[in-house]
Amino acid sequence: MKKDNLELHLERDIMLPNRTLGKLSINGVHECFICEDAVRPKKIQGQTAIPTGRYEIVITLSNRFKRELPLLLNVPNYAGIRIHSGNTESDTEGCLLPGRTRNDTGVFSSIPATNDLILKIRKALTEGRKVFITIVNGKPNA
């Protein structure tokens, strides 16, 4: 029997000059909010959100964070894009930062939101399912 993929969907809905905020759902159900670097027409190293698209997610050991974290595969012109805790764009270099709440400055309660998300991703992978994230730009500042 074919196992269904776990599908994450990130809709970026607040795009500010220094950061981008969005809503993350899993299989259509709201999971958390995400803070990223700003969406820019041209990449600035360590300060630009990744391109929209669909990416497979695996969990591997992060040498930087010294723990297993989700890793987005095959992101064009980026390497090492992870999902990890943090609150503002100063905590990321292109990675996705989950939070339970947000305002225009970033996300909050990031550690529990990140841990909950990792558990769901790990469970799907353990069950032999693939995990994907689709990132889209919604209506800016909706």
pLDDT higher than 70, residue 96: yes
- The answer to whether residue 30 is domain-embedded is yes
Which residue, 46, 21, 37, is CA-closest to 89? Answer: 37
Structural domains of the chain, count:
1
pLDDT tier for residue 11 given thresholds of 50, 70 and 90: very high
- The answer to whether residue 1 is domain-embedded is no
- The answer to whether residue 71 is domain-embedded is yes
Question: What are 18-59's pLDDT values in tens digits?
Answer: 999 999 999 999 999 999 999 998 999 999 999 999 999 999
- The answer to whether residue 142 is domain-embedded is no
pLDDT at site 23: 98
- The answer to whether residue 59 is domain-embedded is yes
Model pTM?
Answer: 0.94
- The answer to whether residue 20 is domain-embedded is yes
What range defines the domain where residue 78 resides?
Answer: 6-137
Q: What radius of gyration, in Å, describes the C-alpha atoms of the chain?
A: 14
pLDDT tier for residue 91 given thresholds of 50, 70 and 90: very high
Beta-strand runs (E) in 16-66: 19-26, 29-37, 53-62
pLDDT tier for residue 3 given thresholds of 50, 70 and 90: confident
Calpha distance 81→63 (Å, rounded):
13
Question: What are 115-132's pLDDT values in tens digits?
Answer: 999 999 999 999 999 999
- The answer to whether residue 69 is domain-embedded is yes
- The answer to whether residue 128 is domain-embedded is yes
Both tokens of residue 94?
Answer: 């292109």
Across the chain, mean pLDDT equals: 94
Asked if residue 117 lies in contact with residue 100, where contact means CB atoms within 8 angstroms, the answer is: no
Question: Distances from the Cα of 31 to the Cαs of 11, 42, 73, in angstroms?
Answer: 12, 30, 21
Calpha distance 34→4 (Å, rounded):
24
Question: What are 68-83's pLDDT values in tens digits?
Answer: 999 999 999 999 999 9
Instruction: Pick left, alpha or beta for residue 25 (phi over 0 → left; psi -120 to 50 → alpha; otherwise beta).
Output: beta
